Structure 1
Amino acid sequence: MIWLYLVLAALVATPLIIEATRKQMNDAARVDAPGEFTELSQGVTHYQWYGPENGPVAVCVHGLTTPSFVWRGLAKGLALMGFRVLVYDLFGRGYSDRPSGLQDRAFFLQQLNDLLADQGVEDDITLIGYSMGGAISTIFAADQPDRIRQLILLAPAGMRPVGKGIVGFAARTPIIGTWLMLELYPTILRKGLKAEKGTPTSVENINALQEAELNWRGFVPSVRASLRGMLSENLAPDHAVLEREAVPVLAIWGREDDVIPLSCAETISDWNSSVQNVVIDGAGHGLTYSHTVEVLAHITEFTQQSG
Protein backbone atom coordinates (compact mmCIF):
# COMPACT_ATOMS: atom_id res chain seq x y z
CA MET A 1 0.00 0.00 0.00
CA ILE A 2 2.87 2.37 0.64
CA TRP A 3 3.79 2.40 -3.03
CA LEU A 4 0.21 3.37 -3.89
CA TYR A 5 0.33 6.34 -1.54
CA LEU A 6 3.66 7.34 -3.01
CA VAL A 7 2.26 7.22 -6.53
CA LEU A 8 -0.77 9.29 -5.49
CA ALA A 9 1.46 11.80 -3.72
CA ALA A 10 3.62 12.12 -6.82
CA LEU A 11 0.56 12.67 -9.01
CA VAL A 12 -0.72 15.37 -6.70
CA ALA A 13 2.64 17.06 -6.34
CA THR A 14 3.69 17.06 -10.00
CA PRO A 15 1.66 20.05 -11.32
CA LEU A 16 2.49 22.03 -8.17
CA ILE A 17 6.21 21.33 -8.62
CA ILE A 18 6.04 22.22 -12.32
CA GLU A 19 4.41 25.55 -11.48
CA ALA A 20 6.96 26.29 -8.76
CA THR A 21 9.86 25.63 -11.14
CA ARG A 22 8.55 27.74 -14.03
CA LYS A 23 10.50 30.87 -14.92
CA GLN A 24 9.88 33.92 -12.78
CA MET A 25 9.03 37.27 -14.34
CA ASN A 26 11.67 39.67 -13.02
CA ASP A 27 14.14 42.33 -14.12
CA ALA A 28 16.40 39.76 -15.78
CA ALA A 29 13.50 38.40 -17.84
CA ARG A 30 12.59 41.91 -18.98
CA VAL A 31 15.97 42.87 -20.40
CA ASP A 32 14.99 42.36 -24.05
CA ALA A 33 11.34 43.41 -23.73
CA PRO A 34 9.95 46.09 -26.05
CA GLY A 35 8.37 49.18 -24.57
CA GLU A 36 8.71 50.49 -21.03
CA PHE A 37 7.94 49.57 -17.42
CA THR A 38 6.40 51.42 -14.51
CA GLU A 39 5.89 50.52 -10.86
CA LEU A 40 2.19 50.85 -10.03
CA SER A 41 0.35 50.22 -6.77
CA GLN A 42 -0.09 46.50 -7.52
CA GLY A 43 3.30 45.90 -9.14
CA VAL A 44 5.31 46.44 -12.31
CA THR A 45 3.33 46.99 -15.51
CA HIS A 46 4.78 46.66 -19.01
CA TYR A 47 3.46 49.10 -21.61
CA GLN A 48 4.25 50.45 -25.07
CA TRP A 49 3.22 53.50 -27.11
CA TYR A 50 2.65 53.59 -30.88
CA GLY A 51 1.91 56.52 -33.17
CA PRO A 52 2.30 60.29 -33.20
CA GLU A 53 2.83 61.99 -29.85
CA ASN A 54 0.13 64.58 -30.50
CA GLY A 55 -2.53 62.16 -31.73
CA PRO A 56 -5.78 61.38 -29.91
CA VAL A 57 -5.18 58.63 -27.37
CA ALA A 58 -6.40 55.06 -27.97
CA VAL A 59 -5.92 52.61 -25.09
CA CYS A 60 -6.00 48.90 -25.97
CA VAL A 61 -6.83 46.25 -23.36
CA HIS A 62 -6.03 42.62 -24.22
CA GLY A 63 -7.81 39.45 -23.14
CA LEU A 64 -7.48 36.44 -20.87
CA THR A 65 -4.43 34.61 -22.22
CA THR A 66 -2.74 36.67 -24.95
CA PRO A 67 -0.73 39.69 -23.71
CA SER A 68 -0.22 43.04 -25.40
CA PHE A 69 1.61 41.54 -28.38
CA VAL A 70 -1.88 40.68 -29.65
CA TRP A 71 -2.16 44.35 -30.68
CA ARG A 72 1.01 44.57 -32.79
CA GLY A 73 -0.78 44.56 -36.11
CA LEU A 74 -3.82 46.55 -35.06
CA ALA A 75 -1.83 49.16 -33.11
CA LYS A 76 0.28 49.94 -36.16
CA GLY A 77 -2.90 50.42 -38.19
CA LEU A 78 -4.39 52.69 -35.52
CA ALA A 79 -1.16 54.69 -35.47
CA LEU A 80 -1.43 55.19 -39.24
CA MET A 81 -4.95 56.52 -38.61
CA GLY A 82 -3.35 59.17 -36.40
CA PHE A 83 -3.96 57.66 -32.96
CA ARG A 84 -1.44 57.73 -30.13
CA VAL A 85 -1.86 54.09 -29.05
CA LEU A 86 -1.15 52.74 -25.57
CA VAL A 87 -0.98 48.97 -25.07
CA TYR A 88 -0.07 47.22 -21.83
CA ASP A 89 0.16 43.79 -20.22
CA LEU A 90 -2.49 42.94 -17.68
CA PHE A 91 -1.09 41.58 -14.44
CA GLY A 92 -0.30 37.88 -14.71
CA ARG A 93 0.53 38.11 -18.42
CA GLY A 94 3.38 39.20 -20.63
CA TYR A 95 6.10 41.20 -18.90
CA SER A 96 3.92 42.52 -16.08
CA ASP A 97 4.06 41.27 -12.48
CA ARG A 98 2.05 38.31 -11.17
CA PRO A 99 0.30 39.50 -7.97
CA SER A 100 -1.78 36.84 -6.22
CA GLY A 101 -5.47 37.07 -5.37
CA LEU A 102 -8.78 37.44 -7.18
CA GLN A 103 -8.69 39.29 -10.48
CA ASP A 104 -12.06 41.02 -10.40
CA ARG A 105 -13.32 44.39 -11.62
CA ALA A 106 -11.65 46.31 -8.79
CA PHE A 107 -8.32 44.62 -9.55
CA PHE A 108 -8.30 45.50 -13.25
CA LEU A 109 -9.76 48.99 -12.78
CA GLN A 110 -6.95 49.75 -10.34
CA GLN A 111 -4.27 48.77 -12.83
CA LEU A 112 -5.79 50.80 -15.67
CA ASN A 113 -6.44 53.85 -13.49
CA ASP A 114 -2.91 53.69 -12.12
CA LEU A 115 -1.37 53.36 -15.57
CA LEU A 116 -3.35 56.25 -17.08
CA ALA A 117 -2.42 58.48 -14.14
CA ASP A 118 1.24 57.42 -14.47
CA GLN A 119 1.23 58.25 -18.19
CA GLY A 120 -0.66 61.52 -17.80
CA VAL A 121 -3.69 60.38 -19.81
CA GLU A 122 -6.75 62.28 -18.65
CA ASP A 123 -9.79 62.13 -20.93
CA ASP A 124 -11.02 62.02 -24.55
CA ILE A 125 -9.92 58.37 -24.65
CA THR A 126 -10.80 55.90 -27.38
CA LEU A 127 -10.92 52.67 -25.39
CA ILE A 128 -10.52 49.39 -27.29
CA GLY A 129 -11.00 46.05 -25.54
CA TYR A 130 -10.56 42.54 -26.87
CA SER A 131 -12.26 39.51 -25.27
CA MET A 132 -11.79 39.88 -21.49
CA GLY A 133 -10.31 43.27 -22.29
CA GLY A 134 -13.72 44.14 -23.69
CA ALA A 135 -15.23 43.47 -20.27
CA ILE A 136 -12.51 45.52 -18.56
CA SER A 137 -13.00 48.37 -21.04
CA THR A 138 -16.75 48.27 -20.50
CA ILE A 139 -16.55 48.59 -16.73
CA PHE A 140 -13.97 51.38 -17.00
CA ALA A 141 -16.12 53.32 -19.47
CA ALA A 142 -19.21 52.84 -17.29
CA ASP A 143 -17.29 53.94 -14.21
CA GLN A 144 -15.87 57.07 -15.86
CA PRO A 145 -17.95 57.81 -18.98
CA ASP A 146 -16.87 61.47 -19.03
CA ARG A 147 -13.32 60.33 -19.94
CA ILE A 148 -14.36 58.25 -22.95
CA ARG A 149 -14.66 59.54 -26.50
CA GLN A 150 -15.76 56.14 -27.81
CA LEU A 151 -15.67 52.48 -26.80
CA ILE A 152 -14.72 49.76 -29.27
CA LEU A 153 -15.25 46.13 -28.27
CA LEU A 154 -13.72 43.20 -30.17
CA ALA A 155 -15.33 39.81 -29.43
CA PRO A 156 -16.05 41.16 -25.93
CA ALA A 157 -16.70 39.12 -22.82
CA GLY A 158 -19.27 40.16 -20.26
CA MET A 159 -22.55 38.89 -21.66
CA ARG A 160 -22.24 35.45 -20.05
CA PRO A 161 -19.70 33.67 -17.85
CA VAL A 162 -16.65 32.43 -19.76
CA GLY A 163 -15.29 29.01 -18.92
CA LYS A 164 -17.27 25.82 -19.15
CA GLY A 165 -16.73 22.14 -18.53
CA ILE A 166 -13.68 21.17 -16.53
CA VAL A 167 -12.14 24.67 -16.80
CA GLY A 168 -15.28 26.23 -15.36
CA PHE A 169 -15.32 23.66 -12.57
CA ALA A 170 -11.64 24.30 -11.81
CA ALA A 171 -12.22 28.05 -11.70
CA ARG A 172 -15.16 27.80 -9.29
CA THR A 173 -13.92 25.06 -6.96
CA PRO A 174 -11.57 25.85 -4.04
CA ILE A 175 -8.36 23.86 -3.46
CA ILE A 176 -8.90 21.05 -5.95
CA GLY A 177 -9.70 23.65 -8.59
CA THR A 178 -6.21 25.09 -8.26
CA TRP A 179 -4.69 21.65 -8.80
CA LEU A 180 -6.99 20.87 -11.76
CA MET A 181 -6.14 24.15 -13.43
CA LEU A 182 -2.41 23.58 -13.14
CA GLU A 183 -2.74 19.97 -14.30
CA LEU A 184 -5.15 20.39 -17.22
CA TYR A 185 -5.16 23.96 -18.50
CA PRO A 186 -1.76 23.93 -20.29
CA THR A 187 -2.92 20.98 -22.41
CA ILE A 188 -6.26 22.65 -23.13
CA LEU A 189 -4.60 25.88 -24.20
CA ARG A 190 -2.04 24.11 -26.39
CA LYS A 191 -4.85 22.18 -28.09
CA GLY A 192 -6.66 25.41 -28.90
CA LEU A 193 -3.50 27.01 -30.24
CA LYS A 194 -2.76 23.98 -32.40
CA ALA A 195 -6.19 24.32 -33.98
CA GLU A 196 -5.33 27.92 -34.94
CA LYS A 197 -2.04 27.11 -36.63
CA GLY A 198 -1.97 28.21 -40.24
CA THR A 199 -4.53 30.96 -39.68
CA PRO A 200 -3.51 34.28 -41.26
CA THR A 201 -2.18 36.73 -38.67
CA SER A 202 -0.85 40.27 -38.44
CA VAL A 203 1.31 39.23 -35.44
CA GLU A 204 4.39 37.26 -36.44
CA ASN A 205 4.77 33.92 -34.61
CA ILE A 206 1.70 34.59 -32.49
CA ASN A 207 1.06 30.89 -31.76
CA ALA A 208 4.58 30.42 -30.40
CA LEU A 209 4.30 33.62 -28.37
CA GLN A 210 0.97 32.51 -26.91
CA GLU A 211 2.27 29.06 -25.99
CA ALA A 212 5.36 30.58 -24.39
CA GLU A 213 3.16 32.23 -21.75
CA LEU A 214 2.81 28.78 -20.18
CA ASN A 215 6.51 28.85 -19.33
CA TRP A 216 6.04 31.61 -16.75
CA ARG A 217 5.14 31.14 -13.13
CA GLY A 218 1.82 32.69 -12.22
CA PHE A 219 0.26 32.66 -15.69
CA VAL A 220 -2.13 29.73 -15.16
CA PRO A 221 -3.15 30.90 -11.64
CA SER A 222 -3.86 34.34 -13.15
CA VAL A 223 -6.13 32.79 -15.79
CA ARG A 224 -8.02 31.00 -13.02
CA ALA A 225 -8.22 34.19 -10.94
CA SER A 226 -9.75 36.03 -13.91
CA LEU A 227 -12.24 33.24 -14.64
CA ARG A 228 -13.35 33.38 -11.00
CA GLY A 229 -13.42 37.17 -11.01
CA MET A 230 -13.82 39.42 -14.05
CA LEU A 231 -15.15 36.72 -16.37
CA SER A 232 -17.84 35.56 -13.94
CA GLU A 233 -19.55 38.96 -13.89
CA ASN A 234 -22.69 40.02 -15.73
CA LEU A 235 -22.19 43.48 -17.20
CA ALA A 236 -25.80 44.38 -17.94
CA PRO A 237 -25.75 47.33 -15.47
CA ASP A 238 -22.54 48.68 -17.00
CA HIS A 239 -23.92 48.60 -20.53
CA ALA A 240 -27.07 50.34 -19.28
CA VAL A 241 -24.88 53.15 -17.92
CA LEU A 242 -23.15 53.49 -21.29
CA GLU A 243 -26.51 53.87 -23.02
CA ARG A 244 -27.72 56.42 -20.47
CA GLU A 245 -24.49 58.41 -20.74
CA ALA A 246 -24.58 58.27 -24.56
CA VAL A 247 -21.10 56.76 -24.90
CA PRO A 248 -20.64 55.68 -28.55
CA VAL A 249 -20.07 51.91 -28.62
CA LEU A 250 -18.97 49.69 -31.51
CA ALA A 251 -18.94 45.91 -31.05
CA ILE A 252 -17.15 43.76 -33.65
CA TRP A 253 -17.86 40.02 -33.70
CA GLY A 254 -16.46 36.99 -35.51
CA ARG A 255 -19.18 34.89 -37.09
CA GLU A 256 -17.22 31.69 -36.39
CA ASP A 257 -16.24 32.60 -32.82
CA ASP A 258 -16.66 29.56 -30.54
CA VAL A 259 -15.41 31.37 -27.41
CA ILE A 260 -17.71 34.41 -27.41
CA PRO A 261 -20.61 33.27 -29.61
CA LEU A 262 -22.40 35.62 -31.98
CA SER A 263 -25.56 35.34 -29.88
CA CYS A 264 -23.84 37.71 -27.42
CA ALA A 265 -24.41 40.49 -29.96
CA GLU A 266 -28.14 40.17 -29.34
CA THR A 267 -27.56 40.30 -25.59
CA ILE A 268 -25.47 43.46 -25.73
CA SER A 269 -28.12 45.12 -27.93
CA ASP A 270 -30.79 44.20 -25.38
CA TRP A 271 -28.71 45.93 -22.70
CA ASN A 272 -27.75 48.97 -24.81
CA SER A 273 -29.89 49.63 -27.86
CA SER A 274 -27.43 52.24 -29.18
CA VAL A 275 -24.59 49.73 -29.69
CA GLN A 276 -23.43 49.37 -33.28
CA ASN A 277 -22.85 45.66 -33.95
CA VAL A 278 -20.86 44.49 -36.97
CA VAL A 279 -19.96 40.91 -37.89
CA ILE A 280 -16.89 39.74 -39.79
CA ASP A 281 -17.60 36.64 -41.86
CA GLY A 282 -15.07 33.83 -41.50
CA ALA A 283 -13.55 35.29 -38.34
CA GLY A 284 -13.18 33.35 -35.11
CA HIS A 285 -12.17 34.59 -31.68
CA GLY A 286 -8.76 35.71 -32.94
CA LEU A 287 -10.25 38.38 -35.23
CA THR A 288 -7.98 41.06 -33.71
CA TYR A 289 -4.94 39.50 -35.42
CA SER A 290 -6.54 37.22 -38.03
CA HIS A 291 -8.80 39.87 -39.62
CA THR A 292 -6.90 43.04 -38.74
CA VAL A 293 -7.67 44.84 -42.02
CA GLU A 294 -11.41 44.29 -41.65
CA VAL A 295 -11.35 45.34 -37.99
CA LEU A 296 -9.49 48.55 -38.88
CA ALA A 297 -11.97 49.32 -41.65
CA HIS A 298 -14.89 49.07 -39.22
CA ILE A 299 -13.05 51.18 -36.64
CA THR A 300 -12.28 53.83 -39.27
CA GLU A 301 -15.93 54.07 -40.30
CA PHE A 302 -17.13 54.20 -36.70
CA THR A 303 -14.66 56.87 -35.62
CA GLN A 304 -15.61 59.02 -38.58
CA GLN A 305 -19.28 58.73 -37.63
CA SER A 306 -18.85 59.32 -33.89
CA GLY A 307 -15.93 61.74 -33.98
Structure 2
Amino acid sequence: MPTLLNDNRIIGGHRIACGVHGAGEPVVLIHGTPSHSVIWREIVPRLVASGRSVHLFDLLGYGASERPLDADTSVAAQETLLVRLLDSWGLEEADIVGHDLGGSIGLRLAVHEPRRVRSLTVIDAPCYDSWPSPTWRKIIETYPNGGASIPQDEFEALLTRQLRMTVHDKARMSGNVLEAYLRPLRGDLGQTSFFRHQVAHYDSRYTQEITPELGRLAMPVRIVWGAQDDWQPLDWARRLSADTGAGLTAIPDAGHFVMEDAPDAVAAEIDGFLKTRQGEKA
Protein backbone atom coordinates (compact mmCIF):
# COMPACT_ATOMS: atom_id res chain seq x y z
CA MET A 1 0.00 0.00 0.00
CA PRO A 2 1.70 3.27 -1.12
CA THR A 3 2.61 5.78 1.56
CA LEU A 4 1.35 9.35 1.65
CA LEU A 5 4.42 10.41 3.63
CA ASN A 6 7.03 12.09 1.43
CA ASP A 7 9.03 14.09 3.96
CA ASN A 8 10.55 14.01 7.44
CA ARG A 9 10.83 16.90 9.89
CA ILE A 10 12.78 17.12 13.12
CA ILE A 11 10.32 18.41 15.70
CA GLY A 12 11.37 18.76 19.33
CA GLY A 13 14.44 16.65 18.59
CA HIS A 14 12.47 13.76 17.09
CA ARG A 15 11.87 12.69 13.48
CA ILE A 16 8.28 13.06 12.31
CA ALA A 17 7.25 11.38 9.07
CA CYS A 18 4.93 13.69 7.16
CA GLY A 19 3.62 14.60 3.75
CA VAL A 20 2.18 17.50 1.77
CA HIS A 21 0.03 17.05 -1.33
CA GLY A 22 -1.67 19.49 -3.66
CA ALA A 23 -1.96 23.27 -3.65
CA GLY A 24 -4.47 25.68 -2.21
CA GLU A 25 -5.89 26.33 1.23
CA PRO A 26 -4.04 24.19 3.83
CA VAL A 27 -5.81 21.31 5.51
CA VAL A 28 -4.07 19.31 8.26
CA LEU A 29 -5.18 15.72 8.88
CA ILE A 30 -4.47 14.13 12.29
CA HIS A 31 -4.93 10.38 12.76
CA GLY A 32 -5.66 8.55 16.01
CA THR A 33 -5.08 5.16 17.63
CA PRO A 34 -4.51 2.31 16.88
CA SER A 35 -3.74 3.89 13.55
CA HIS A 36 -1.38 6.01 11.48
CA SER A 37 -1.57 8.10 8.31
CA VAL A 38 -2.74 5.13 6.21
CA ILE A 39 -6.26 5.87 7.41
CA TRP A 40 -6.32 9.00 5.21
CA ARG A 41 -5.27 7.25 1.98
CA GLU A 42 -8.69 7.57 0.32
CA ILE A 43 -9.39 11.06 1.71
CA VAL A 44 -6.23 12.86 0.56
CA PRO A 45 -6.75 12.45 -3.22
CA ARG A 46 -10.31 13.73 -2.97
CA LEU A 47 -9.28 16.85 -1.04
CA VAL A 48 -6.37 17.50 -3.40
CA ALA A 49 -8.74 17.21 -6.37
CA SER A 50 -10.92 19.83 -4.68
CA GLY A 51 -8.04 22.33 -4.60
CA ARG A 52 -6.63 21.81 -1.10
CA SER A 53 -3.06 21.63 0.13
CA VAL A 54 -3.25 18.54 2.33
CA HIS A 55 -0.76 18.15 5.18
CA LEU A 56 -0.57 14.95 7.19
CA PHE A 57 1.85 13.12 9.46
CA ASP A 58 2.33 10.19 11.79
CA LEU A 59 2.13 11.16 15.44
CA LEU A 60 5.31 10.76 17.47
CA GLY A 61 5.56 7.09 18.47
CA TYR A 62 3.25 5.97 15.66
CA GLY A 63 3.61 4.59 12.16
CA ALA A 64 6.73 5.73 10.32
CA SER A 65 7.64 8.46 12.82
CA GLU A 66 10.38 7.98 15.39
CA ARG A 67 9.43 5.86 18.40
CA PRO A 68 11.80 6.82 21.21
CA LEU A 69 10.80 4.84 24.27
CA ASP A 70 11.50 7.74 26.64
CA ALA A 71 9.36 10.28 24.76
CA ASP A 72 6.12 11.77 26.07
CA THR A 73 3.44 10.84 23.54
CA SER A 74 0.39 11.89 25.54
CA VAL A 75 -2.41 13.86 23.93
CA ALA A 76 -1.03 17.03 25.51
CA ALA A 77 2.49 16.37 24.19
CA GLN A 78 1.13 15.61 20.71
CA GLU A 79 -0.70 18.95 20.78
CA THR A 80 2.59 20.75 21.46
CA LEU A 81 4.25 18.77 18.67
CA LEU A 82 1.47 19.78 16.27
CA VAL A 83 2.04 23.46 16.98
CA ARG A 84 5.74 23.03 16.20
CA LEU A 85 4.95 21.09 13.05
CA LEU A 86 2.62 23.86 11.86
CA ASP A 87 5.52 26.26 12.40
CA SER A 88 7.84 23.97 10.45
CA TRP A 89 5.37 23.89 7.56
CA GLY A 90 5.07 27.68 7.69
CA LEU A 91 1.35 27.54 8.48
CA GLU A 92 0.10 30.37 10.65
CA GLU A 93 -3.36 28.83 10.50
CA ALA A 94 -5.04 25.87 8.83
CA ASP A 95 -8.25 23.91 8.61
CA ILE A 96 -7.79 21.05 11.09
CA VAL A 97 -9.35 17.61 10.63
CA GLY A 98 -8.84 15.10 13.43
CA HIS A 99 -9.98 11.51 13.83
CA ASP A 100 -10.07 9.60 17.13
CA LEU A 101 -7.23 10.97 19.31
CA GLY A 102 -6.45 13.31 16.42
CA GLY A 103 -9.84 14.88 17.05
CA SER A 104 -9.02 15.21 20.74
CA ILE A 105 -5.73 16.89 19.81
CA GLY A 106 -7.62 19.19 17.43
CA LEU A 107 -10.09 20.16 20.14
CA ARG A 108 -7.26 20.98 22.53
CA LEU A 109 -5.52 23.06 19.87
CA ALA A 110 -8.76 24.94 19.18
CA VAL A 111 -9.06 25.76 22.88
CA HIS A 112 -5.41 26.67 23.52
CA GLU A 113 -4.31 28.11 20.14
CA PRO A 114 -7.50 29.33 18.42
CA ARG A 115 -5.60 31.63 16.05
CA ARG A 116 -3.99 28.57 14.46
CA VAL A 117 -7.33 26.85 13.72
CA ARG A 118 -9.30 28.26 10.80
CA SER A 119 -11.91 25.52 11.20
CA LEU A 120 -12.14 22.20 13.00
CA THR A 121 -13.63 18.92 11.80
CA VAL A 122 -13.90 16.28 14.55
CA ILE A 123 -14.38 12.67 13.50
CA ASP A 124 -15.28 9.91 16.03
CA ALA A 125 -13.09 11.47 18.70
CA PRO A 126 -12.73 10.59 22.39
CA CYS A 127 -14.18 13.42 24.44
CA TYR A 128 -15.29 14.11 28.00
CA ASP A 129 -14.78 10.83 29.91
CA SER A 130 -15.77 8.64 26.96
CA TRP A 131 -12.50 6.72 26.91
CA PRO A 132 -10.88 4.25 27.18
CA SER A 133 -13.66 2.20 25.62
CA PRO A 134 -14.78 -0.89 27.57
CA THR A 135 -12.66 -3.32 25.55
CA TRP A 136 -9.53 -1.16 25.86
CA ARG A 137 -10.20 -0.68 29.57
CA LYS A 138 -10.32 -4.46 29.98
CA ILE A 139 -7.01 -4.82 28.12
CA ILE A 140 -5.39 -2.18 30.32
CA GLU A 141 -6.66 -3.94 33.45
CA THR A 142 -5.46 -7.32 32.16
CA TYR A 143 -1.95 -6.02 31.48
CA PRO A 144 -1.39 -3.38 34.22
CA ASN A 145 2.37 -3.28 33.58
CA GLY A 146 2.03 -2.97 29.80
CA GLY A 147 1.76 -5.72 27.26
CA ALA A 148 5.32 -6.03 26.03
CA SER A 149 5.56 -9.56 27.46
CA ILE A 150 2.50 -10.91 25.61
CA PRO A 151 3.51 -13.60 23.09
CA GLN A 152 3.55 -11.98 19.68
CA ASP A 153 0.93 -14.26 18.15
CA GLU A 154 -1.41 -13.47 21.07
CA PHE A 155 -0.68 -9.76 20.68
CA GLU A 156 -1.48 -9.83 16.98
CA ALA A 157 -4.71 -11.70 17.62
CA LEU A 158 -5.69 -9.10 20.24
CA LEU A 159 -4.98 -6.24 17.83
CA THR A 160 -6.85 -7.96 15.02
CA ARG A 161 -9.95 -8.35 17.22
CA GLN A 162 -9.77 -4.70 18.21
CA LEU A 163 -9.21 -3.44 14.67
CA ARG A 164 -12.16 -5.43 13.37
CA MET A 165 -14.32 -3.62 15.92
CA THR A 166 -13.49 -0.35 14.17
CA VAL A 167 -15.54 -1.07 11.05
CA HIS A 168 -19.19 -1.85 10.47
CA ASP A 169 -18.40 -3.98 7.42
CA LYS A 170 -15.90 -6.44 8.91
CA ALA A 171 -14.68 -7.47 5.46
CA ARG A 172 -13.11 -4.03 5.09
CA MET A 173 -10.65 -4.76 7.88
CA SER A 174 -8.90 -7.71 6.25
CA GLY A 175 -6.20 -8.46 3.71
CA ASN A 176 -3.94 -5.56 2.76
CA VAL A 177 -5.90 -3.09 4.87
CA LEU A 178 -5.53 -5.08 8.08
CA GLU A 179 -1.89 -5.71 7.23
CA ALA A 180 -1.27 -1.95 6.84
CA TYR A 181 -2.53 -1.30 10.36
CA LEU A 182 -0.69 -4.24 11.91
CA ARG A 183 2.69 -3.76 10.22
CA PRO A 184 4.04 -0.87 12.37
CA LEU A 185 3.05 -2.72 15.55
CA ARG A 186 4.84 -5.99 14.85
CA GLY A 187 8.07 -7.14 16.45
CA ASP A 188 9.53 -6.27 19.83
CA LEU A 189 9.77 -2.54 19.11
CA GLY A 190 6.30 -2.33 17.61
CA GLN A 191 4.67 -4.16 20.51
CA THR A 192 6.56 -2.24 23.20
CA SER A 193 5.94 1.05 21.40
CA PHE A 194 2.23 0.35 21.08
CA PHE A 195 1.70 -0.03 24.81
CA ARG A 196 4.12 2.73 25.79
CA HIS A 197 3.27 5.34 23.18
CA GLN A 198 -0.42 4.65 22.67
CA VAL A 199 -2.22 2.55 25.31
CA ALA A 200 -0.36 4.14 28.24
CA HIS A 201 -1.92 7.49 27.29
CA TYR A 202 -5.55 6.41 27.00
CA ASP A 203 -6.45 8.92 29.70
CA SER A 204 -9.61 11.01 29.65
CA ARG A 205 -8.13 13.82 31.77
CA TYR A 206 -6.80 15.32 28.54
CA THR A 207 -10.33 15.77 27.23
CA GLN A 208 -12.10 16.42 30.52
CA GLU A 209 -9.87 19.39 31.30
CA ILE A 210 -11.06 21.26 28.18
CA THR A 211 -14.75 20.46 28.63
CA PRO A 212 -15.57 23.87 30.22
CA GLU A 213 -14.15 25.62 27.13
CA LEU A 214 -16.07 23.74 24.44
CA GLY A 215 -18.91 26.23 24.33
CA ARG A 216 -16.47 29.09 23.64
CA LEU A 217 -14.71 27.80 20.54
CA ALA A 218 -14.13 30.71 18.21
CA MET A 219 -13.99 28.92 14.84
CA PRO A 220 -16.46 26.93 12.72
CA VAL A 221 -16.69 23.33 13.93
CA ARG A 222 -18.15 20.29 12.22
CA ILE A 223 -18.66 16.83 13.73
CA VAL A 224 -18.68 13.68 11.60
CA TRP A 225 -19.37 10.30 13.20
CA GLY A 226 -19.91 6.68 12.26
CA ALA A 227 -23.47 5.85 13.28
CA GLN A 228 -22.39 2.35 14.38
CA ASP A 229 -19.26 3.34 16.28
CA ASP A 230 -18.67 0.65 18.93
CA TRP A 231 -15.88 2.56 20.73
CA GLN A 232 -17.34 6.06 20.79
CA PRO A 233 -21.12 5.66 20.49
CA LEU A 234 -23.10 8.36 18.74
CA ASP A 235 -24.46 9.83 21.98
CA TRP A 236 -21.01 11.32 22.62
CA ALA A 237 -21.18 13.09 19.26
CA ARG A 238 -24.61 14.47 20.10
CA ARG A 239 -23.29 15.85 23.40
CA LEU A 240 -20.27 17.37 21.69
CA SER A 241 -22.52 18.92 19.05
CA ALA A 242 -24.77 20.44 21.71
CA ASP A 243 -21.86 21.86 23.70
CA THR A 244 -19.98 23.33 20.72
CA GLY A 245 -22.98 24.35 18.64
CA ALA A 246 -21.46 22.37 15.75
CA GLY A 247 -23.38 20.61 13.04
CA LEU A 248 -23.34 16.82 13.26
CA THR A 249 -23.44 14.30 10.45
CA ALA A 250 -23.89 10.64 11.41
CA ILE A 251 -22.79 8.41 8.55
CA PRO A 252 -24.90 5.24 8.34
CA ASP A 253 -23.39 1.76 8.15
CA ALA A 254 -20.06 3.08 9.44
CA GLY A 255 -18.05 2.35 12.55
CA HIS A 256 -15.24 4.07 14.43
CA PHE A 257 -12.88 3.98 11.44
CA VAL A 258 -15.51 5.73 9.37
CA MET A 259 -12.96 6.51 6.63
CA GLU A 260 -12.67 2.76 6.01
CA ASP A 261 -16.42 2.14 5.84
CA ALA A 262 -17.42 5.29 3.94
CA PRO A 263 -14.47 7.24 2.47
CA ASP A 264 -16.58 9.03 -0.16
CA ALA A 265 -19.05 10.27 2.44
CA VAL A 266 -16.30 11.45 4.80
CA ALA A 267 -14.42 13.29 2.04
CA ALA A 268 -17.65 14.91 0.88
CA GLU A 269 -18.45 16.06 4.43
CA ILE A 270 -14.99 17.60 4.92
CA ASP A 271 -14.95 19.24 1.50
CA GLY A 272 -18.51 20.54 1.81
CA PHE A 273 -17.81 22.03 5.23
CA LEU A 274 -14.62 23.74 4.02
CA LYS A 275 -16.41 25.15 0.97
CA THR A 276 -19.15 26.54 3.20
CA ARG A 277 -16.56 28.08 5.51
CA GLN A 278 -14.66 29.62 2.61
CA GLY A 279 -17.78 30.81 0.81
CA GLU A 280 -17.07 28.61 -2.20
CA LYS A 281 -19.67 27.05 -4.40
CA ALA A 282 -20.34 23.58 -3.04
Is 1:291 matched with 2:259? no
Q: Indicate the residue corresponding to 1:114 in structure 2.
A: 84
Q: Indicate the residue corresponding to 1:59 in structure 2.
A: 28
Paired residue type of 1:277:
L
Instruction: Tell me the percent identity.
Output: 23
Runs (5+) with no aligned partner, structure 1: 1-31
Paired residue type of 1:178:
G
Q: Distance in 1 between matches of 2:254 and 2:191?
A: 26
Deviation at 1:259, TM superposition (A): 1.3
Q: Distance in 2 between matches of 1:69 and 1:154?
A: 16
Q: Indicate the residue corresponding to 1:147 in structure 2.
A: 116
Deviation at 1:293, TM superposition (A): 0.8
1:170–1:180: 8 Å Cα contact kept in structure 2? no
Residue 257 of structure 1: which of 214, 229, 246 is its match? 229
Closer, same or farther: CA 181–138 of 1 in aligned 2, 3 Å: farther
Deviation at 1:194, TM superposition (A): 5.2
1:158–1:231: 8 Å Cα contact kept in structure 2? no
Q: Indicate the residue corresponding to 1:135 in structure 2.
A: 104
Deviation at 1:42, TM superposition (A): 4.2
Per-residue CA deviation, residues 242-268 of structure 1 (Å, 9 max, x unaligned), is 532431111111111101111111221
Normalised to the residue count of structure 2, the TM-score between the two structures is 0.83
TM alignment of 1:153-168, pairs within 5 A: 153-159=122-128, 160-165=130-135, 167-168=136-137
1:253–1:278: 8 Å Cα contact kept in structure 2? yes
Deviation at 1:234, TM superposition (A): 5.4
Q: Distance in 1 between matches of 2:90 and 2:262?
A: 32
Normalised to the residue count of structure 1, the TM-score between the two structures is 0.77
2:61–2:73: 8 Å Cα contact kept in structure 1? no
Runs (5+) with no aligned partner, structure 2: none
Residue 215 of structure 2: which of 243, 254, 260 is its match? 243
Per-residue CA deviation, residues 123-150 of structure 1 (Å, 9 max, x unaligned), is 1x10000111111111112111112111
Per-residue CA deviation, residues 170-198 of structure 1 (Å, 9 max, x unaligned), is 5479x842147745653221123456552
Q: Distance in 2 between matches of 1:286 and 1:170?
A: 20
Q: Distance in 1 between matches of 2:200 and 2:131?
A: 9
Q: Distance in 1 between matches of 2:4 and 2:103?
A: 25
Q: Distance in 2 between matches of 1:73 and 1:90?
A: 19
Paired residue type of 2:171:
G
Is 1:39 matched with 2:7? no
Q: Distance in 1 between matches of 2:149 and 2:206?
A: 23
Q: Distance in 2 between matches of 1:35 and 1:58?
A: 16
TM alignment of 1:27-106, pairs within 5 A: 34-52=5-23, 55-101=24-70, 102-106=72-76
**Larger Rg, first or second structure (1 or 2):** 1
Closer, same or farther: CA 33–141 of 1 in aligned 2, 3 Å: closer
Q: Distance in 2 between matches of 1:68 and 1:45?
A: 12
Closer, same or farther: CA 157–257 of 1 in aligned 2, 3 Å: same
